Every structure is written in structure tokens, then in C-alpha cells.
A = this chain, B = another copy of it.
Amino acid sequence: MESGDGEVVSNKQVIFKDYVPGVLKESDMYITTSTIKLKVPEDCTNGVLVKNLYLSCDPYMRNRMRKLQGSYIAPLNPGSPVSGRGVAKVLDSRHPDYKKGDFIWGMTGWEEYSLITATETLFKIHDKDVPLSYYIGILGMPGLTAYAGFYEICSPKKGEFVFISAASGAVGQLVGQFAKLLGCYVVGSAGSKDKVDLLKNKFGFDDAFNYKEEMDLDAALKRYFPDGIDIYFENVGGNMLDAVLLNMRLRGRISVCGMVSQYNLEQPEGVHNLMSLVPKRIRMEGFLVYDYFHLFPKYLDMVLPYIKQGKIVYVEDTAEGLENAPAALIGLFNGRNIGKQVVAVSRE
């Protein structure tokens, strides 16, 4: 079945039904089974036929499931498998860079086997001394996102006060660890006691709090940052951003990575305290990881030794099987995941 001899096999898939303006539900996707020939068609130059091992659940995927005006990324096709990043094994290839048996990561489909034609998104996996799933986490886009968003956008300095929302997530847990390694004071917010424990005990944050237990986020931030916040790594938006704006220090920086609390709302919440930007000379900057691919080698050189030395850890939340993929994706917006949400389709 993995021989790439052209055998036709059944292919379980997660299909995206149609665009959803408000709250995304599991029923907006469904499981089906089709068939696939495990061979790249002859007319498909550069195509790669892969067996998917691990799939990534990321908040940005929500925005491909609505009709967004002028989005940076194309919406998904209703009726087709969900598309996202994954780790896969090459079964057959007409691409000169990839051969049978290689492991790759990049854009693939939510299905057992995928014929990938947009091969420009693929990376070959060279270092297999780490869990393969890391290539959709710490060694993939979430990792580079944390690195670029923290070092490039925030211009952090030792001793600064750093606050991270959604801090136990795929990106946040890394930003916090990078900031600690640099010598910053780091506090994170998350949505459960377990996550708060993880932040304090596993990732080494100086402190952490459960935002759901705080009636007054402004007061909570004043408690954790009596002298204010130099750097805010923004993952959630809405009320949290409003409270942070009241607690920033002079010349603070806000790196806007995402606003996950807003993605299931038809109309985003209003942010009222932007006038704080003026007297405090705050810089607030949005970024996309795509602009920082040139930093990937530098990032891997930094992070791989840290992983191997145990100086940086990475927590994943793994859903087993494609059947559980829709619930895993939905769970991101309810904060159900603890750590990076991964779907294990097959363990090889």
C-alpha cells in the first residue's frame, strides 16, 4: 500500500461543506471515503503523492472558511478536503527534489493520501532526531511565527516585561520560552487551570493567569505588571487587547500575530483604548510569517540545539485519526487544546 506501485486504495477525507459567517461547527465538515491511485499521473509534472502522517490545526484556517474581503490567503473550496499544513511521507514523485521515502512538510489535504501539485509550499525533512510532528509546530510555521513575531517585530531587550495571550498555544508557548531565554519577565494568560500550570511549571513563565477567572482584565494586568508591559504578543484581540492598551509602558510594542477570540464572531468586538497609543508612543504591528521564510535556517540553527538540550520544550495536543480532526479544529476556538493541536492520521 505504500509501495507507490499505482495501487488504488480507499482514501478517507474531511470535506469542507460551505462558507460559515459566524460560529464554525463540526457539522460544517464531514468525513467521506473516496479512492486514490498511489501514483502521480503522467501529465502531472512535479506532482508528489504522499501519505499524510500529521495534520496541523491552526486558527488562521478559520478565516479560509469564510468569504473574506481581500484576504491574504485564498478561501477553501466547498466540497473539497480541508487544506492545511501537514507532515507526510512521499509514496511517489515526479518532482526532482522529492523521492519515494522522503518525509516532507507543507500544504496538504485533510485525507489519508494527497496528490500535491502546489509543491512550492513543501519542505524536505532532514533532521529526524525529533518528533516528526514538530515540523508542523516548533520546527514549522508556528515556530517561525513565534521567532519572527518576537525578535523581529518586538525588538525585545533583556529585562523587559512581556505579556503573551493564548500563551500555551502553538505559538505562545514558544514566545514565552524565547523571552525567558533572553532574560525577560514573562507572564501569560490562558483559559484553564491546567494551562496556567503548564505555563508556570513546564514552560518556565514567571507567572500566568486564567483570563476566564478574571472579572476585570485591567485589574488582573495591573496585578501581574505593576510597572506595566513593554511587549505584548497579541494572539486574541478584543477585550484583552483593550485591557493591555491601558497597561502598556512608554514605547511599548504590540506584535499582532492573530486575534483568535474574534474569528467566530460575525462582527469583531470594538477596541476602545487605542488613544493610549499616542501618549505612550506605542507601536502596534501586524505580521505574517510568510515574510520571514529567509530566517528559517537561522531559526532552526537556534532552536534545534535548544530542543535537543531540553532548554526549550514543546507541548502538543494530539487528536487520533481523521474522524477527530473537525472537533480538534473547532476546539481551538473554545480553547479545548492544551498546546499545539495536531491530528495524527497515521504514525507511518
Contacts and interface: CB of A to CB of B under 8 A. Distances in A.
Nearest to A228: B70
Could you say which interface size class chain A belongs to? Answer: 35 or more
Q: How many copies does the complex hold?
A: 2
Interface string A271-283: 1111111111111
State the majority secondary structure of interface residues on A: loop
Contact of A270 (B272, B280, B291): B272
Nearest to A250: B72
A44 to B, nearest CB: 31
Given A283-B283, A283-B285, A284-B284, A268 B273 contact: yes
A343 to B, nearest CB: 25
B269 A269 contact: no
Interface in A52-92: 69, 71-73
A38 interface: no
A268 B276 CA distance: 11
Nearest to A268: B272
A278 B284 contact: no
Interface in A278-305: 278-288, 291
A332 B33 CA distance: 67
Among A71, A275, A287, the most chain B Cβ lie within 10 Å of the Cβ of A275
A309 interface: no
Contacts of A274: 237, 241, 256, 259, 268, 271
A279 B257 CA distance: 9
Contacts of A41: none
A268 B262 contact: no
Contacts of A281: 285-288, 291
A21 interface: no
A258 interface: yes
A162 to B, nearest CB: 19
Given A259-B275, A282-B286, 4 more contacts: A259-B278, A268-B273, A271-B271, A282-B285
